[in-house]
């Protein structure tokens, strides 16, 4: 019974924010009404293989919609402990504003802060702006293209890399599929090169599948792959994770 309970906890509440690029498309909650909406989650995971692994995480997403204006805010925090070592924490805070200019074009502005001890990121701050294009007219099958430019301030805890102050491009292609009222599939791929030094780039692809379970509760399956051409010292170029979770949403 104890083994079964541990397995259920791992399946239902495993969550990771180790990805270095936040998928902002997954934050957009489809709603026809103005006002506030969002979701909140609390997760716990306990694993044992070669080492004992414990993680605690919370994530909150709130959005406010009014006519042609949309504001998104996301706050994720995770604490991890491996084999009795001290807790290693990580977090992302993301604020994004969308102003719908026409039926197919919107202006996006965003600010983001991030830290992740596992990836040796002491601090990464981003400020970005650019257009977002709607490529389809169907409400059930949506395709978007974004082309932004952003300023990046990064401090790594690897004892080698100096403080980075860069300007990067951020191009993404996203699609959102809603075949039924309680099923959705969202996938987004980002390409973020350092301007004038295109050998320094990041790629991130995230796909999430959501199924409505009961009222405001959803089951979420998510796969993320990231590649950083110039990561922190001794951090691998590519990382990936597959997670499952249960989410509570509110309108």
Query: Which residues have a Cβ under 8 Å from the Cβ of 106 and sit 6 or more positions away?
Result: 98, 99, 100, 131, 132, 134
| CA–CA distance, 239 with 26 (Å, rounded to integer) | 19
What letter would DSSP give residue 2? H
What letter would DSSP give residue 233? T
Q: Residue 60 has which token pair?
A: 């909150």
CATH number at residue 214: 2.40.160.40
8 A C-beta contact, residue 64 and residue 86? no
The residues facing 109 across adjacent strands are 97, 129
Q: What domain range includes position 148? A: 2-250
Q: Dump pLDDT digits (tens) for 186-202.
A: 999 999 999 989 999 99
Buried/exposed 43-70: b ≥16 CB within 10 Å, e otherwise = bebeeeeeeeebbbbebebbbebeeeeb
User: Given the structure tokens 């089951």, which residue do they identify?
Assistant: 219
When divided into structural domains, the chain yields a total of 1
Longest dimension (CA), the chain: 58
What letter would DSSP give residue 234? T
Q: Dump pLDDT digits (tens) for 47-100.
A: 665 567 777 778 888 999 998 999 999 998 888 777 666 666 889 999 999 999
8 A C-beta contact, residue 156 and residue 120? yes
126: pLDDT strictly greater than 70: yes
Give whole-number Cα distances, 166 to 22, 124, 149, 235, 238, in Å.
18, 11, 11, 20, 21
Q: What is the pLDDT of residue 78?
A: 83
CA dihedral sign of residues 121, 126, 130, 133: positive
Q: Dump pLDDT digits (tens) for 135-180.
A: 998 989 999 999 999 999 999 999 999 999 999 999 999 999 999 9
Q: What is the pLDDT of residue 113?
A: 95
Report pTM. Answer: 0.75
Q: What is the pLDDT of residue 38?
A: 83
8 A C-beta contact, residue 172 and residue 150? no
What letter would DSSP give residue 14? -
User: Given the structure tokens 């802060």, which residue do they identify?
Assistant: 113
Question: 171 or 213: which carries more pLDDT confidence?
Answer: 171
């Amino acid at each position: 019974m104890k083994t079964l309970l541990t397995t259920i906890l791992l399946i239902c509440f495993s969550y990771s924010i180790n990805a270095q690029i936040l998928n902002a498309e997954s934050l957009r909650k489809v709603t026809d009404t103005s006002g506030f909406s969002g979701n909140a989650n609390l997760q716990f995971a306990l694993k044992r293989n070669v080492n004992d692994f414990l993680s605690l995480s919370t994530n909150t997403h709130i959005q406010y919609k009014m006519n042609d204006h949309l504001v998104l805010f996301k706050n994720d925090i995770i604490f991890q402990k491996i084999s009795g070592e001290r807790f290693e924490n990580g977090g992302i805070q993301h604020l994004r504003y969308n102003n719908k200019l026409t039926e197919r074009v919107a202006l996006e502005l965003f600010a983001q802060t991030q830290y992740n001890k596992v990836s040796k990121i002491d601090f990464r701050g981003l400020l970005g702006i650019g257009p977002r294009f709607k490529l389809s007219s169907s409400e059930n099958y949506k395709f978007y293209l974004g082309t932004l430019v952003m300023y990046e301030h990064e401090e790594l805890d690897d004892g080698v890399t100096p403080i980075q102050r860069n300007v990067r491009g951020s191009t993404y292609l996203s699609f959102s599929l809603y075949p039924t009222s309680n099923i959705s599939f969202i996938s987004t791929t980002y390409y973020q090169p350092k301007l004038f030094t295109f050998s320094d780039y990041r790629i991130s692809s995230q796909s999430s599948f959501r199924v409505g379970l009961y009222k405001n509760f959803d089951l979420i399956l998510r796969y993320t792959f990231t590649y950083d051409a110039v990561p922190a010292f001794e951090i691998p170029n590519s990382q990936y994770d597959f997670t499952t979770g249960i989410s509570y949403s509110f309108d």
